[in-house]
Amino acid sequence: MNAAAIIEQPLGRLGMDSLPFWEMLQHPTEENLINGFIGGGAACVVVIGIVVVCALITFFGKWRALWSEWLTSPDHKKIGIMYVVVALVMLARAVIEAILMRLQQAVGLGGGFLAPDHFAQLFSTHGTIMIFFMAMPFLIGVINYVMPLQIGARDVSFPVLNSISLGLTAAAAMLVMVSLVIGQFSTGGWFGYPPYTETAFTPDVGPDYWIWALTLSSVGTTLTGINFAVTIYKERAPGMTLMRMPLFTWTALCTSILMIFAMPPLTVATAQLALDRYLGFHYFTNALGGNMMNFMNLFWLFGHPEVYILILPSFGIYSEVVATFSGKALFGYRSLVLATMTIAVLSFTVWVHHFFTMGQSANINAVFGIASMLIGIPTGVKIYEWMATMYRGRVRLTVPMVYAIGFILLFVLGGITGIILANPAIDYQVHNTVFLVAHFHNVAIPGVLFGLLAGYHFWFPKVFGFRLDERWGMISALCWLFGFMLAFFPLYALGLMGLPRRTVAYFNPAYQPLEIVAFLGALLIGCALLALLIQGWVSIKHRNENRVFAGDPWDGRSLEWAVSAPPPEYNFPVLPVVNDADAFAAAKEFGVAYQQPDEFVDIKLPRNSAMGPVLGGLGFVMAFGLVWHIWWLVIVCALGTLAAIIVRGFARDTVQTVPASVVKEEHGRWLDAVQHAAAISRAAECDPANEGLAEQGAAGATS
Partner 1 sequence: MTSRLRQARPPYVGVAILSSTLLLLSGCAESGVYLSFLNPQGPIAAAQRWHLIEVVVLLGVFVALPIFVLLPLLVWRYRYGAKSPRYTPKWQDYLPLEVMVWAGPIAIICVLGFLVWHYTHALDPYKPIAPHGRPLQVQAIGYDWKWLFIYPDQGIATVGVLAIPVEQPVAMRLTSATVMQSLLIPALAGQIYAMGGMVTQLHLKATKPGRSLGENTMYNGNGFHHQKFTALAMPPEEFKAWVRKVRASGVALDARAYKALSQRGTVAELVAALPRASHEGNIYLTQVSAALFPAVVEATMTGTPTALGHVLVAPAGLPAPVVRKTAASSMENAP
- Applying the rule CB under 5 A, the residues between 118 and 177 that interact with Cu ion are none
CB of 190 to ligand HEM, least distance (A): 4
Q: Which of 57, 419, 520, 679 binds partner 1 (CB under 8 A)?
A: 419
CA distance 627 to 206: 8
Q: Which of 47, 107, 373, 671 binds partner 1 (CB under 8 A)?
A: 373
Phi-psi region of 571 (alpha: psi -120 to 50; beta: other; left: phi over 0): left
Q: Which long-range contacts (CB under 8 A, 24 or more apart) does 692-700 make?
A: 692/461, 692/547, 692/548, 692/549, 692/550, 692/551, 692/552, 692/553, 692/565, 693/550, 693/552, 694/552, 694/553, 694/554, 694/555, 694/556, 694/588, 696/588, 696/589, 700/555
Q: Residue 688's CB: how many other CB atoms inside 10 A?
A: 12
CA angle 572, 462, 688 (to 5 degrees): 130
Using CB under 5 A, count the residues that bind Cu ion.
Answer: 1
Residue span 58-97 as binding mask against ligand HEM, x where in contact by CB under 6 A, dash where not: -------------------------------------x--
The entry of Cu ion, partner 1, ligand HEM, none that residue 444 binds, CB within 5 to 8 Å by partner kind: ligand HEM
CA distance 549 to 149: 16
User: Would you say 304 or 467 has its CB closer to Cu ion?
Assistant: 304
Under the criterion CB under 6 A, does residue 190 sit at the interface with ligand HEM?
Answer: yes
Under the criterion CB under 6 A, does residue 664 sit at the interface with ligand HEM?
Answer: no
Under the criterion CB under 8 A, does residue 5 sit at the interface with partner 1?
Answer: no
Q: Which of 390, 477, 479, 611 binds partner 1 (CB under 8 A)?
A: 390
CB of 420 to partner 1, least distance (A): 6
CB of 581 to partner 1, least distance (A): 9
Q: How far is CA 3 from the centre of its chain?
A: 42
CA distance 605 to 664: 16
CB of 654 to partner 1, least distance (A): 43
Rule CB under 6 A: which of 111-140 touch ligand HEM?
123-124, 126-127, 130-131, 135
User: Would you say 264 or 568 has its CB closer to Cu ion?
Assistant: 264
Rule CB under 8 A: which of 338-367 touch partner 1?
355, 357-363, 365-366
CA distance 6 to 10: 5
CA distance 113 to 338: 51
Of the candidates 240, 261, 259, the one whose C-alpha atom is nearest the C-alpha of residue 312 is 259
Using CB under 8 A, count the residues that bind partner 1.
Answer: 101
Paired sense of beta strands 655-658 and 603-606, if any: antiparallel
User: Would you say 502 or 607 has its CB closer to ligand HEM?
Assistant: 502
User: Would you say 144 or 379 has its CB closer to partner 1?
Assistant: 379
The entry of ligand HEM, partner 1, Cu ion, none that residue 365 binds, CB within 5 to 8 Å by partner kind: partner 1
The entry of Cu ion, ligand HEM, partner 1, none that residue 143 binds, CB within 5 to 8 Å by partner kind: none
- Residues sharing a CB contact under 8 Å with residue 448, sequence separation 6 or more, in sequence order: 135, 139, 310, 311, 314
Rule CB under 8 A: which of 298-337 touch partner 1?
326-333, 335
Residue span 429-458 as binding mask against ligand HEM, x where in contact by CB under 6 A, dash where not: -----x--x---x--xx--xx---------
Amino acid sitting at position 379? T
User: Would you say 226 or 430 has its CB closer to partner 1?
Assistant: 430
Using CB under 6 A, count the residues that bind ligand HEM.
Answer: 26
User: Would you say 127 or 400 has its CB closer to ligand HEM?
Assistant: 127
CA distances (Å), 199 to each of 15, 194, 274, 275, 285, in order? 19, 9, 10, 11, 9
CB of 253 to Cu ion, least distance (A): 21
CA distance 628 to 10: 10
The residue of the chain with the least Cβ separation from Cu ion equals 304
Exposure pattern of 42-81 as b/e (b: 16+ CB <10 Å)? bbeebeeeeeeeeeeeeeeeeeeeeeeebbbbbbbbbbbb
Under the criterion CB under 6 A, does residue 102 sit at the interface with ligand HEM?
Answer: yes
274, 263 contact by CB (below 8 A): no
Q: Which of 89, 109, 498, 534 binds partner 1 (CB under 8 A)?
A: 498
The entry of Cu ion, partner 1, ligand HEM, none that residue 304 binds, CB within 5 to 8 Å by partner kind: Cu ion
Under the criterion CB under 5 A, does residue 667 sit at the interface with Cu ion?
Answer: no
Rule CB under 6 A: which of 521-580 touch ligand HEM?
522, 525
Under the criterion CB under 8 A, does residue 648 sit at the interface with partner 1?
Answer: no
Exposure pattern of 663-683 as b/e (b: 16+ CB <10 Å)? bbebbeebbebbeebebbbbe
Under the criterion CB under 6 A, does residue 142 sit at the interface with ligand HEM?
Answer: no
The entry of partner 1, Cu ion, ligand HEM, none that residue 326 binds, CB within 5 to 8 Å by partner kind: partner 1
The entry of ligand HEM, partner 1, Cu ion, none that residue 497 binds, CB within 5 to 8 Å by partner kind: partner 1
Q: What is the helix (H) or strand (E) element at residue 175, kind and residue range?
A: helix 159-181
CA distance 58 to 64: 10
Q: Which of 593, 682, 693, 694 binds partner 1 (CB under 8 A)?
A: 682
Tell me the three state secondary structure of residue 606: strand
Q: What is the helix (H) or strand (E) element at residue 660, kind and residue range?
A: helix 660-676
Q: Which residues on adjacent β-strands are paired with residue 500?
A: 433
User: Would you say 265 or 617 has its CB closer to Cu ion?
Assistant: 265
Rule CB under 6 A: which of 472-531 touch ligand HEM?
487, 501-503, 522, 525
In sequence order, which ranges of 60-158 are alpha helices (DSSP H)? 63-65, 76-106, 116-128, 136-150
Residue span 250-289 as binding mask against partner 1, x where in contact by CB under 8 A, dash where not: -----------------------------------xxxx-
CA distances (Å), 353 to each of 367, 445, 611, in order? 10, 21, 41
Under the criterion CB under 5 A, does residue 76 sit at the interface with Cu ion?
Answer: no
Q: Which of 23, 155, 385, 552 binds partner 1 (CB under 8 A)?
A: 385
Residue span 111-140 as binding mask against partner 1, x where in contact by CB under 8 A, dash where not: ----xxx--x--------------------
The entry of Cu ion, partner 1, ligand HEM, none that residue 448 binds, CB within 5 to 8 Å by partner kind: ligand HEM
Q: Which of 392, 591, 599, 646 binds partner 1 (CB under 8 A)?
A: 392
Rule CB under 5 A: which of 297-326 touch Cu ion?
304
User: Would you say 376 or 566 has its CB closer to partner 1?
Assistant: 376
CA distance 337 to 342: 9
Rule CB under 6 A: which of 154-183 touch ligand HEM?
none
Under the criterion CB under 6 A, does residue 583 sit at the interface with ligand HEM?
Answer: no
Of the candidates 269, 226, 71, 247, the one whose C-alpha atom is nearest the C-alpha of residue 140 is 226
Q: How far is CA 116 from the centre of its chain?
A: 29
CA distance 299 to 127: 15
The entry of ligand HEM, Cu ion, partner 1, none that residue 639 binds, CB within 5 to 8 Å by partner kind: none
Footprint of Cu ion on this chain (CB under 5 A)? 304
Footprint of ligand HEM on this chain (CB under 6 A)? 95, 98, 101-102, 123-124, 126-127, 130-131, 135, 189-190, 434, 437, 441, 444-445, 448-449, 487, 501-503, 522, 525
